[in-house]
Amino acid sequence: MRGITAFSVLAALWLASTGIAAPSLTVVCGVDEMWCAAMKTAYEAKSGHEISVTRKSTGDILNQIRAEKAAPTVDVWWGGTGDTHLQAGSENLLEPYQPAHERDMLPWAQNFFAMSGGRSAGIYAGALGFAYNADLLRELKLPAPTCWMDLTDTAYRGRIQSGNPNSSGTAFTTLATLVQLFGEDEAFRYLAALNRNIERYTPSGSAPIKAAARGETLIGISFMHDAVTQKQAGFPLVIVAPCEGTGYEIGAVSIVKGAKNIEEAKRFVDFALSPEGQGTGAASGQNQVPSNAKSSLPLAAPDISMIKMVDYDFATFGSPEERSRLLRRFDAEIAATN
Ligand code: PLP
């Protein structure tokens, strides 16, 4: 810790001596790179202050915030799956804050805020699913999958990508969804069968769908809104809401406990929950459902009311014990045999 503190002091002195101003806010961003960049531009234009925004996968952000607990370098964690934010909250790594727009939030976002003890606010929601490359499927003369169970068919051996749930919030949502759909032991039997078809577990959750879009793999497991974005970019994806039902995420924003730029962090959170801030999603090609009732819905956003959805238990799957236990079991029984 002394090392980090000494380094921060030296860095500040160096910046002062070069005349380069330190950013007024440091944000780690859990959504798509395009949205991270659009949000940085929009917030800087609004505030007149330069900020630093770095994209990371959700589990990696949690690990960074844990590691820096004694001397945080991050002020705001914006985006990424909410159960991981809840876990950080229950480890006392987040600063409670009542955002200006909280009363305009849709009921699922208000419930999420209450569940977090006022430490994390919901910024968007989106359903999990998978998508396949229609051109490649036709070329390979393979059947079209429509259910989770179809993905274990030997026809898809080595032709599916999914994220690694240790680093990817998308992939942890997949793991937790399967446990809620099938029960834990059955879910692990399913994952073992699926594992035989998994070409690789990617560190980031959106990599599988980008690979399927480009025909580098046949099927990618991902959030459906990520697949819509790729499809809108012209890639031949067919998006599937699995027949058994599926889970969903609430993406969140939180202020890190001990944030150095706390007032700017609060202004950023207010912006992230405003219709203007949420509009940066659709403007950068994203298709999540925004949490502010006054925000406009991206035109191509999947209609989550039409999808068979599990009653996702954020409290259980956002608890440190449950998340760590499931990840240990995944590593021991599934990843170790891939
Ligand atoms: N990209 C989008 C569009 C998302 O909605 C989310 C989840 O909040 C992520 C990425 C999460 O990324 P990862 O699975 O790499 O943690």
- Tell me, in angstroms, the distance from the centre of ligand 1 to residue 19's CA: 36
Q: Is the CB of 168 under 6 A from ligand 1?
A: yes
Beta bridge partners of 27: 53, 76
**pLDDT value at position 336?**
87
- Return the closest-CA partner of residue 228 out of 297, 138, 308, 143: 297
Task: Give one DSSP letter per residue of 227-255, joined into a string.
Answer: HHHHHHTT--EEEE--TT-B-EEEEEEEE
Q: Specify whether the CB–CB gap between 217 and 183 falls below 8 A.
A: no
pLDDT digits (tens), the chain, 338 positions? 333 444 444 444 444 454 456 789 999 999 999 999 999 999 999 999 999 999 999 999 999 999 999 999 999 999 999 999 999 999 999 999 999 988 899 999 999 999 999 999 999 999 999 999 999 999 999 999 999 999 999 999 999 999 999 999 999 999 999 999 999 999 999 999 999 999 999 999 999 999 999 999 999 999 999 999 999 999 999 999 999 999 999 999 999 999 999 999 999 999 999 999 999 999 999 999 999 999 999 989 988 888 999 999 999 998 989 999 999 999 999 998 88
**Could you identify the atom of ligand 1 that is nearest to the CA of residue 229?**
3
Query: Could you give the angle at the alpha carbon of 64 between the alpha carbons of 320 and 316, nearest 5°?
Result: 15
Q: What is the number of the ligand 1 atom nearest to the C-alpha of 80?
A: 8
H/E run at residue 269: helix 262-273
Q: How close is the Cα of 242 to the center of ligand 1, in Å?
A: 19
* pLDDT at residue 282, rounded to an integer: 95
Q: How far is it, in rounded angstroms, from Cα 47 to Cα 44? A: 5
Return the closest-CA partner of residue 241 out of 147, 142, 102.
147
Angle between the 169-182 and 82-90 helix axes, to the nearest 10 degrees?
A: 90
CA distances, 304 to each of 83, 119, 159, 189, 249 (Å): 19, 26, 27, 28, 11
32 lines ligand 1 (CB under 6 A): yes
Which residues partner with 121 through β-bridges?
A: 253
CA 38 to each of CA 113, 126, 285, 293: distance values in angstroms, whole numbers, following the listed order: 25, 20, 10, 21
79 CB within 6 A, ligand 1:
yes
User: Are the C-beta atoms of 129 and 242 separated by less than 8 Å?
Assistant: yes
Tell me the ipTM for this assembly. Answer: 0.95
Q: 128-248+322-337: CATH homologous superfamily?
A: Periplasmic binding protein-like II (3.40.190.10)
Instruction: Provide the token pair at 146.
Output: 């429509």
User: Does residue 205 line the site of ligand 1, with CB under 6 A?
Assistant: yes
Q: What architecture is the 2-126+249-297 domain classified under in CATH?
A: 3-Layer(aba) Sandwich (3.40)
169 lines ligand 1 (CB under 6 A): yes
207 contacts: CB under 8 Å, gap ≥ 6: 161, 163
CA 197 to chain centroid, in Å, comes to: 24
Ligand 1 proximity of 230 Cβ (cutoff 6 Å): no
Kindly provide the b/e burial profile for residues 203-220, where b requires at least 16 CB atoms within 10 angstroms of the residue's own CB. Answer: ebbbbbbbbbbeeebbbb
What's the gap in Å between 57 CA and the centre of ligand 1? Answer: 7
What's the 206 CA to ligand 1 centre distance in angstroms?
Answer: 6
Whose alpha carbon is nearest atom 5 of ligand 1? 31
Residue nearest to atom 14 of ligand 1 (CA): 205
Q: Answer yes or no: is the C-beta of 80 below 6 A from any ligand 1 atom.
A: yes
Query: Is the C-beta atom of 81 inside 6 A of ligand 1?
Result: yes
Residue with CA closest to ligand 1 atom 2: 31
Q: What are phi and psi of 241, to 5 degrees?
A: -95, 110
Would the CB of 166 count as within 6 Å of ligand 1? Answer: no
Among protein residues, the one whose CA lies closest to atom 11 of ligand 1? 80
Q: Indicate if ligand 1 lies below 6 Å from the C-beta of 208.
A: no
| Ligand 1, pocket-test mutation among 56, 204, 224, 230, most atoms within 8 A of CB | 204
Residue ranges, CATH 3.40.190.10, the chain: 2-126+249-297, 128-248+322-337
- Beta-strand relationship, 52-55 and 26-29: parallel
C-alpha of residue 204 to centroid of ligand 1, in Å: 8
Indicate whether residue 31 lines ligand 1 (CB < 6 A).
yes
Query: Atom 4, ligand 1: which residue's CA is nearest?
Result: 31
